Chains A and B, each alone.
Chain A
Amino acid sequence: AQSVAQPEDQVNVAEGNPLTVKCTYSVSGNPYLFWYVQYPNRGLQFLLKYITGDNLVKGSYGFEAEFNKSQTSFHLKKPSALVSDSALYFCAVREHSWGKLQFGAGTQVVVTP
Protein backbone atom coordinates (compact mmCIF):
# COMPACT_ATOMS: atom_id res chain seq x y z
CA ALA A 1 0.00 0.00 0.00
CA GLN A 2 1.10 3.53 -0.68
CA SER A 3 0.87 6.44 1.74
CA VAL A 4 2.03 10.00 2.15
CA ALA A 5 2.58 12.11 5.25
CA GLN A 6 2.81 15.87 5.40
CA PRO A 7 3.75 16.51 9.03
CA GLU A 8 3.00 20.23 9.08
CA ASP A 9 -0.54 21.56 8.79
CA GLN A 10 0.81 25.07 8.19
CA VAL A 11 4.11 26.70 7.36
CA ASN A 12 4.65 30.41 7.98
CA VAL A 13 7.47 32.25 6.28
CA ALA A 14 8.38 35.85 5.59
CA GLU A 15 8.60 37.00 2.00
CA GLY A 16 12.12 36.60 0.65
CA ASN A 17 13.00 33.79 3.06
CA PRO A 18 13.50 30.16 2.02
CA LEU A 19 10.41 27.96 2.01
CA THR A 20 10.38 24.24 2.77
CA VAL A 21 7.32 21.98 2.81
CA LYS A 22 7.96 18.49 4.12
CA CYS A 23 6.73 15.19 2.71
CA THR A 24 7.52 11.57 3.52
CA TYR A 25 6.14 8.57 1.68
CA SER A 26 5.74 4.82 1.85
CA VAL A 27 5.50 2.50 -1.15
CA SER A 28 6.40 -1.10 -1.77
CA GLY A 29 8.46 -0.40 -4.87
CA ASN A 30 10.01 2.57 -6.58
CA PRO A 31 8.01 5.73 -5.95
CA TYR A 32 6.56 8.17 -8.42
CA LEU A 33 6.32 11.45 -6.49
CA PHE A 34 4.44 14.65 -7.23
CA TRP A 35 3.76 18.07 -5.78
CA TYR A 36 0.61 20.05 -6.49
CA VAL A 37 -0.58 23.47 -5.35
CA GLN A 38 -4.18 24.53 -4.77
CA TYR A 39 -5.53 28.06 -4.57
CA PRO A 40 -8.93 28.74 -2.94
CA ASN A 41 -11.90 27.24 -4.79
CA ARG A 42 -9.67 25.95 -7.56
CA GLY A 43 -8.43 22.60 -8.74
CA LEU A 44 -4.90 21.39 -8.19
CA GLN A 45 -2.02 22.67 -10.29
CA PHE A 46 0.97 20.47 -11.06
CA LEU A 47 4.33 21.78 -9.77
CA LEU A 48 6.82 18.98 -10.34
CA LYS A 49 7.40 15.25 -10.31
CA TYR A 50 10.10 12.71 -9.61
CA ILE A 51 10.11 9.55 -11.69
CA THR A 52 13.78 8.60 -11.90
CA GLY A 53 17.17 10.20 -12.36
CA ASP A 54 18.55 13.28 -10.62
CA ASN A 55 17.42 13.54 -7.01
CA LEU A 56 16.90 17.31 -7.35
CA VAL A 57 13.86 18.07 -9.45
CA LYS A 58 13.08 21.56 -10.72
CA GLY A 59 9.51 22.58 -11.37
CA SER A 60 7.21 25.50 -12.01
CA TYR A 61 7.34 28.97 -10.38
CA GLY A 62 10.86 28.49 -9.01
CA PHE A 63 10.01 25.45 -6.90
CA GLU A 64 12.24 22.42 -6.58
CA ALA A 65 12.12 19.18 -4.61
CA GLU A 66 14.74 16.81 -3.35
CA PHE A 67 14.18 13.07 -3.44
CA ASN A 68 15.90 11.23 -0.59
CA LYS A 69 15.45 7.48 -0.86
CA SER A 70 17.09 6.59 2.46
CA GLN A 71 14.82 9.00 4.34
CA THR A 72 11.82 8.30 2.08
CA SER A 73 11.31 12.02 1.75
CA PHE A 74 10.45 14.42 -1.04
CA HIS A 75 10.55 17.93 0.45
CA LEU A 76 9.44 20.90 -1.61
CA LYS A 77 11.66 23.99 -1.55
CA LYS A 78 11.83 27.50 -2.84
CA PRO A 79 14.86 29.71 -2.18
CA SER A 80 12.93 32.97 -1.85
CA ALA A 81 9.20 32.88 -1.06
CA LEU A 82 6.67 35.31 -2.51
CA VAL A 83 3.38 36.42 -0.98
CA SER A 84 1.70 34.89 -4.03
CA ASP A 85 3.06 31.47 -2.98
CA SER A 86 0.50 31.43 -0.17
CA ALA A 87 -1.65 28.40 -0.96
CA LEU A 88 -2.32 24.77 -0.04
CA TYR A 89 0.38 22.33 -1.11
CA PHE A 90 -0.12 18.60 -1.62
CA CYS A 91 2.43 15.85 -1.94
CA ALA A 92 1.33 12.69 -3.77
CA VAL A 93 2.77 9.26 -4.54
CA ARG A 94 1.97 6.24 -6.64
CA GLU A 95 3.61 2.85 -6.95
CA HIS A 96 3.34 2.44 -10.69
CA SER A 97 3.80 4.57 -13.75
CA TRP A 98 0.03 4.64 -14.07
CA GLY A 99 -2.97 4.55 -11.79
CA LYS A 100 -4.22 6.43 -8.79
CA LEU A 101 -2.30 8.99 -6.82
CA GLN A 102 -2.31 8.91 -3.03
CA PHE A 103 -2.35 12.45 -1.66
CA GLY A 104 -1.18 13.79 1.66
CA ALA A 105 -3.46 15.91 3.81
CA GLY A 106 -1.88 19.11 2.58
CA THR A 107 0.19 21.91 4.08
CA GLN A 108 -1.07 25.48 4.14
CA VAL A 109 1.72 27.91 3.29
CA VAL A 110 1.37 31.48 4.52
CA VAL A 111 3.90 34.01 3.24
CA THR A 112 3.80 37.36 5.01
CA PRO A 113 5.06 40.60 3.48
Chain B
Amino acid sequence: DTGVSQDPRHKITKRGQNVTFRCDPISEHNRLYWYRQTLGQGPEFLTYFQNEAQLEKSRLLSDRFSAERPKGSFSTLEIQRTEQGDSAMYLCASSFADYGYTFGSGTRLTVV
Protein backbone atom coordinates (compact mmCIF):
# COMPACT_ATOMS: atom_id res chain seq x y z
CA ASP B 1 0.00 0.00 0.00
CA THR B 2 1.42 3.31 -1.02
CA GLY B 3 -1.41 5.46 0.28
CA VAL B 4 -5.06 6.31 -0.05
CA SER B 5 -6.44 5.91 -3.57
CA GLN B 6 -9.42 7.75 -4.97
CA ASP B 7 -11.19 7.09 -8.22
CA PRO B 8 -11.90 8.85 -10.49
CA ARG B 9 -9.56 11.85 -10.26
CA HIS B 10 -11.95 14.00 -12.22
CA LYS B 11 -15.65 13.71 -12.98
CA ILE B 12 -17.77 15.99 -15.13
CA THR B 13 -21.48 15.33 -14.98
CA LYS B 14 -24.68 16.97 -16.04
CA ARG B 15 -26.97 18.40 -13.43
CA GLY B 16 -29.46 15.82 -12.24
CA GLN B 17 -27.23 12.82 -12.87
CA ASN B 18 -26.00 10.48 -10.16
CA VAL B 19 -22.28 10.04 -9.47
CA THR B 20 -20.32 7.62 -7.32
CA PHE B 21 -16.77 7.98 -6.05
CA ARG B 22 -14.56 5.29 -4.60
CA CYS B 23 -11.90 5.46 -1.91
CA ASP B 24 -9.43 2.70 -1.06
CA PRO B 25 -7.79 3.43 2.30
CA ILE B 26 -4.49 2.17 3.60
CA SER B 27 -5.22 -1.45 4.39
CA GLU B 28 -4.47 -1.43 8.13
CA HIS B 29 -6.40 1.79 8.75
CA ASN B 30 -9.73 1.20 10.48
CA ARG B 31 -11.06 4.76 10.16
CA LEU B 32 -12.13 6.40 6.94
CA TYR B 33 -13.26 9.97 6.43
CA TRP B 34 -14.91 11.93 3.63
CA TYR B 35 -14.41 15.67 3.28
CA ARG B 36 -15.50 18.23 0.70
CA GLN B 37 -13.34 21.18 -0.31
CA THR B 38 -14.41 24.14 -2.40
CA LEU B 39 -12.03 26.66 -3.91
CA GLY B 40 -10.36 28.86 -1.33
CA GLN B 41 -11.81 26.96 1.62
CA GLY B 42 -10.59 24.37 4.04
CA PRO B 43 -11.94 20.83 3.89
CA GLU B 44 -15.40 20.39 5.39
CA PHE B 45 -16.25 17.18 7.19
CA LEU B 46 -18.93 15.00 5.60
CA THR B 47 -18.87 11.63 7.32
CA TYR B 48 -16.64 9.01 8.84
CA PHE B 49 -16.51 5.26 9.39
CA GLN B 50 -14.86 3.05 11.91
CA ASN B 51 -14.55 -0.28 10.16
CA GLU B 52 -17.94 -0.71 8.45
CA ALA B 53 -19.92 1.43 10.89
CA GLN B 54 -20.80 4.98 9.88
CA LEU B 55 -20.28 6.85 13.15
CA GLU B 56 -21.01 10.44 12.25
CA LYS B 57 -22.62 12.40 9.44
CA SER B 58 -22.44 16.14 8.92
CA ARG B 59 -25.50 18.27 8.35
CA LEU B 60 -23.81 19.02 5.01
CA LEU B 61 -24.61 15.46 3.98
CA SER B 62 -28.11 15.95 2.61
CA ASP B 63 -30.41 13.08 1.74
CA ARG B 64 -28.95 13.16 -1.78
CA PHE B 65 -25.62 11.97 -0.39
CA SER B 66 -24.95 8.47 0.83
CA ALA B 67 -21.74 6.76 1.88
CA GLU B 68 -20.97 3.12 2.49
CA ARG B 69 -18.03 1.09 3.61
CA PRO B 70 -18.94 -2.56 3.12
CA LYS B 71 -16.76 -5.02 5.01
CA GLY B 72 -14.73 -2.17 6.43
CA SER B 73 -12.48 -1.87 3.40
CA PHE B 74 -13.09 0.53 0.51
CA SER B 75 -15.78 3.19 0.68
CA THR B 76 -18.11 4.78 -1.83
CA LEU B 77 -19.73 8.18 -1.79
CA GLU B 78 -22.79 8.61 -4.00
CA ILE B 79 -24.47 11.86 -4.90
CA GLN B 80 -27.91 11.59 -6.42
CA ARG B 81 -29.53 14.25 -8.60
CA THR B 82 -26.39 16.37 -8.67
CA GLU B 83 -26.64 20.15 -8.44
CA GLN B 84 -24.15 22.80 -9.48
CA GLY B 85 -23.47 23.51 -5.82
CA ASP B 86 -22.07 20.00 -5.50
CA SER B 87 -19.07 20.97 -7.61
CA ALA B 88 -16.06 20.56 -5.34
CA MET B 89 -13.07 18.40 -4.54
CA TYR B 90 -14.11 15.33 -2.57
CA LEU B 91 -11.34 14.12 -0.31
CA CYS B 92 -11.01 10.78 1.39
CA ALA B 93 -8.67 10.13 4.31
CA SER B 94 -7.89 7.16 6.50
CA SER B 95 -6.25 6.72 9.87
CA PHE B 96 -5.40 4.15 12.49
CA ALA B 97 -6.34 5.03 16.07
CA ASP B 98 -5.33 8.59 16.95
CA TYR B 99 -2.64 9.06 14.38
CA GLY B 100 -2.91 11.75 11.74
CA TYR B 101 -4.95 11.26 8.64
CA THR B 102 -3.50 10.19 5.32
CA PHE B 103 -5.39 11.89 2.51
CA GLY B 104 -5.99 10.73 -1.01
CA SER B 105 -5.49 13.04 -3.98
CA GLY B 106 -9.22 13.68 -4.20
CA THR B 107 -11.94 13.50 -6.83
CA ARG B 108 -12.76 16.79 -8.50
CA LEU B 109 -16.44 16.95 -9.41
CA THR B 110 -17.76 19.48 -11.91
CA VAL B 111 -21.51 19.67 -12.41
CA VAL B 112 -22.52 21.42 -15.63
Q: Which residues of A contact B (CB under 8 A)?
A: 4, 32, 34, 36, 41-46, 49, 51, 90, 92, 97-106
Contacts and interface: CB of A to CB of B under 8 A. Distances in A.
Given A41-B108, A44-B43, A106-B41, A98 B98 contact: yes
User: Chain B's interface: helix, strand, loop or mixed, by majority?
Assistant: strand
B65 interface: no
Interface string B16-49: 0000000000000001010100001111110010
A105 B98 contact: no
Contacts of B93: 43-44
A43 B98 contact: no
A100 B45 contact: yes
Interface of B: 4, 6, 31, 33, 35, 40-45, 48, 50, 55-56, 91, 93, 97-98, 100-106, 108
Given A43-B104, A49-B100, A100 B43 contact: no
A45 B103 contact: yes
Given A41-B108, A43-B103, A44-B103, A103 B48 contact: no
A99 B104 contact: no
B7 to A, nearest CB: 13
B33 A105 contact: no
